[in-house]
Each structure stands twice: as C-alpha cells, then as structure tokens.
Amino acid sequence: MNEIMKVIERRTSLRRYKDVPIKDEDLEQLLYAAQRAPTAGNMMLYTILLIRDQHTKEVLSKTCDNQPFIAKAPLVMVFLADVQRWFDYYLVSEVKEFCLRTGLEFRGPNLGDLFISVSDALIAAQNVVIAAESLGIGSCYIGDIMENYETHRELLGLPEYAFPIAMLCLGYYPDDYKPTVRPRFEQQYFVFEEKYHRLNKEELTAMFAQRDAAIPRPNKYGAENAAQYMFARKTGTAFAQEMDRSIRKAMENWQGGNPILVDRHV
C-alpha cells in the first residue's frame, strides 16, 4: 500500500483534540491542499471560512445539533458553495450589458450553479481531510451546518449565493488516542457494472446483517432492527426536519431569478 492509501485507510473521524492550536505551517498546507483540488471549469466555486473565535465555535456547537466537541476543536473550517463571487464579477464586468448586446440571456444563480459549487466545495474539503490526516491532524465533518440557515447566515456574514455545505472540526490527535476503524458496506452492494442494480430484500438483509447484529437490544427507541434504529436516530429526527426546512429556505434564492436581486450586493 502506498503512503496515500495508508493515510486513506487510517483516517477516522476525530471528535477529541489535543489542546494546541494548528501550526501556521500546517494550516498553510491544508489550505494549499484545498486550493489544488479539482474544481469545475477552474472556477473555484467555494469559500473557506476559518473559525477560531471561541464564541463563534460555541454558537456553532449549539446550532449544529448541540455537539459540544465543536467548541473544543482548535480549528473549524466552514466550506461554502459560493457563486456570489462569480456573479458579482459578472455584474461589475458588465456581463448584463454584454448579454443585451449579443443576444445572450442574463440570469441569476440557479440550481445547476448550486450543485456544481457544492461539488467544488466538498471536493476541496475532502482534500483538506486527507492532507490533515497526513500531518497528524484529525478531522470530523459536521453536516448540521446546513441547519439553521438564517442564524448561520447572520453569524458568518453570508451573502445570498454562498451556502454552507460542510463544516470540518480539525485538531491534532490526543497523545492517548486509539482510532477505531469503522466497517463499511461490502463493495458488491454499491459498485455495479454499467447499470444500476436495485437491491432486493434478500440482498438488503445480507448487506445490513453486520449493522443489524451491532444495534443495542433492547434500545430506547423500541427499534427491532438496524433500519428502525437508524431511522429513529437520523432520518426521522427533528434535526433532519430542520435541515430540510433550512435548505428549502436557502434555496428560495437559487431559482435563476431576477438578476437585479444580485445587483444589490455590488
């Protein structure tokens, strides 16, 4: 196994950190790793916010589904799917006038722009994760940054067309830390040749057998199998509903609407 594969194999999510700041030279490398990530059309449709202010981290630890370890991470990075910068650039560069002159239709940010910027932001984030691991810095994604859109917009000063798609908590491994490598589903269930294969009941049962054996019995949800257990813990929770509400609210802006909307920020 080469060095990169070894780093990929040993990475696990880290939720407890050594109480020391990230060294400047390490941060520089993390940001360089993000910068070198593939990016659609070389547009770099993302922005990274470095969060080191204790108060901000504490607010995030509450607004991101009450996860106290967030406040203890020496460094938090928020990855924004960001098309604001490009649309601002279009406007200051008279792209609207150019469109009128040439018959092109000018439009505001739409769902395509959102999805491609989400791709860019997540690819950059994962480059940071792997680079961090190679430097002895552990990380943990926080998906809950997509919740409480209005609060996060205010807290982080976000313009309309920059959506917080992922957050990373980062910090050096504590000296006594022993990582647990968590099992994954077998490849036969998620890698198919050429065409999608929808799993039948027998295949689903086989795929989840290990997970099913691992759930606590009895449990506080009254769940009898891994599906019921996971639905009660994740898919069917209030935080999942909040994530839907929050994203729908943010998406109100991303309908390709009146470009005058965009003008307000320039």
Residues that bind ligand FMN (CB under 6 A): 12-13, 15, 67, 140-144, 182
Q: Give whichever of 45 and 243 is closer to ligand FMN, judged by the CB atom.
A: 243
Task: Let me know: does 154 contact 57? Beta carbons within 8 Å.
Answer: no
Minimum gap (Å) between residue 83 Cβ and ligand FMN = 21
Q: Give whichever of 98 and 185 is closer to ligand FMN, judged by the CB atom.
A: 185
Give the rounded distance of the alpha carbon of 247 from its chain centre: 13
Minimum gap (Å) between residue 261 Cβ and ligand FMN = 29
- Residue 194: DSSP 8-state: S
Label residue 214 exposed, middle or buried (CB < 10 Å: 0-12, 13-18, 19+): exposed
Closest residue by Cα to residue 139 from 16, 233, 229: 16
User: Residues, the chain, total?
Assistant: 266
Q: Give whichever of 50 and 122 is closer to ligand FMN, judged by the CB atom.
A: 122
Q: Give whichever of 167 and 262 is closer to ligand FMN, judged by the CB atom.
A: 167
Minimum gap (Å) between residue 87 Cβ and ligand FMN = 26
Q: Give whichever of 37 and 262 is closer to ligand FMN, judged by the CB atom.
A: 37
Label residue 31 exposed, middle or buried (CB < 10 Å: 0-12, 13-18, 19+): middle
Q: Give whichever of 63 and 87 is closer to ligand FMN, judged by the CB atom.
A: 63
Q: Is the peptide bond before 179 cis (omega within 30 degrees of 0)?
A: no
Spatial distance between the Cα atoms of 259 and 172, rounded to a whole number of angstroms:
45
The residue nearest ligand FMN at its CB is: 143
Minimum gap (Å) between residue 150 Cβ and ligand FMN = 19
Minimum gap (Å) between residue 142 Cβ and ligand FMN = 4
Minimum gap (Å) between residue 148 Cβ and ligand FMN = 13
Mark residue 109 as left, alpha or beta (left: phi above 0; alpha: psi -120 to 50; beta: remaining): beta
